[in-house]
Amino acid sequence: MLTSIEICAGAGGQALGLAMAGFSHIALIEYEKDYCNALKKNRPEWNVICKDVKEFSGIGYRGKVDLLAGGVPCPPFSVAGKQLGSKDERDLFPEAIRLIDEIQPRAIMLENVRGLLDAVFDDYRKSILGKIRDLGYDVQIKLLNANDYGVPQLRPRVIIVGIKNGEPGKFHYPEEHPETAQSVGDTLLDLMKENGWKNAVKWAKGANTIAPTIVGGSKKHGGPDLGPVRARKAWAELGVNGLGVADEAPEKDFEGMPKLTPRMIARIQGFPDTWDFGRKKTTACRMIGNAFPPPVAEAVGKEIRRALENECADC
């Protein structure tokens, strides 16, 4: 089995997807305690290292890792923030590049928000890609939409993939299959019916498109909800009250627009229902919203694996 190290592992979305793609995690690095606890609870067999990636050295792993992956923090490039880019202290692309140099993995996979492609970051983006190329990698960058890979949500993410020069195979981004994404209604109907809500089927028929992007928000601001005003309007069109998050499904005689539970939000994000985010609703929703959808990570991971094993048809 191919091996991987993941930095900024979060609550495990990317790690889960890569595991399903056939990668065995040597180490997962994550500095937030709640996220570390979630990783350890859901996958006790994973080697979770709870520390700042800036304090993590890759020298001891040099030549022992097939894939270095990570979802470096997105606020420096998010349109919802100040877009400070390299001037933002949360920008960890330099740490990712340092670890690529130290570990020399056969492949890399880094994901971030769509804002990284904005014109304001042209020079910085080119600098990042150039540094990775200088370390000996054939690098590609592309915007992928989660709904093209079975996730019932409009969630664009930038995926950078690099394959070390000299590898026999060539990486190709996974084919898009938008028809595989269910509507929000079809995705959540059984969960909405858990307490016998009599209007569940009617609601599901109205919620007949994919969801807007799930947001995680900052630990410094607010409680659990489905995002700012524009996002809540999009949820309202699906018959969902985005002003908060519910503890459980609607009761039998509930009238009006239901709120989603953390479990519902996690399913929309592509997590299995068995994934445990803990009992703190605000923390759980932040972990879920900031995650990388496992099905997308799996799709990209499978193509990376094919490139490393030289299995792709047109290599």
Catalytic (active-site) positions: 74
Contact by Cβ (8 Å): 174, 303: yes
Contact by Cβ (8 Å): 9, 48: yes
Instruction: Count Cβ atoms within 10 A of the Cβ of residue 120 and give its class: 0-12 exposed, 13-18 middle, 19 or more buried.
Output: exposed
Structure tokens belonging to residue 240: 């969902």
- Residue type (1 letter), 31: Y
Task: Count helices and strands (H / E) in the chain.
Answer: 10, 7
Contact by Cβ (8 Å): 260, 269: no
CB within 8 A of 226, min separation 6: which ones?
214, 215, 232, 235, 240, 242, 243, 245, 260, 265
Distance, CA of 280 to chain centre:
20
Closest CA to 258 of 177, 197, 208, 176: 197
The rounded distance, in Å, linking the Cα atoms of 315 and 306 is: 10
The rounded distance, in Å, linking the Cα atoms of 312 and 306 is: 6
Size (the chain), residues: 315
Closest CA to 160 of 28, 304, 19, 4: 304
The rounded distance, in Å, linking the Cα atoms of 112 and 157 is: 6
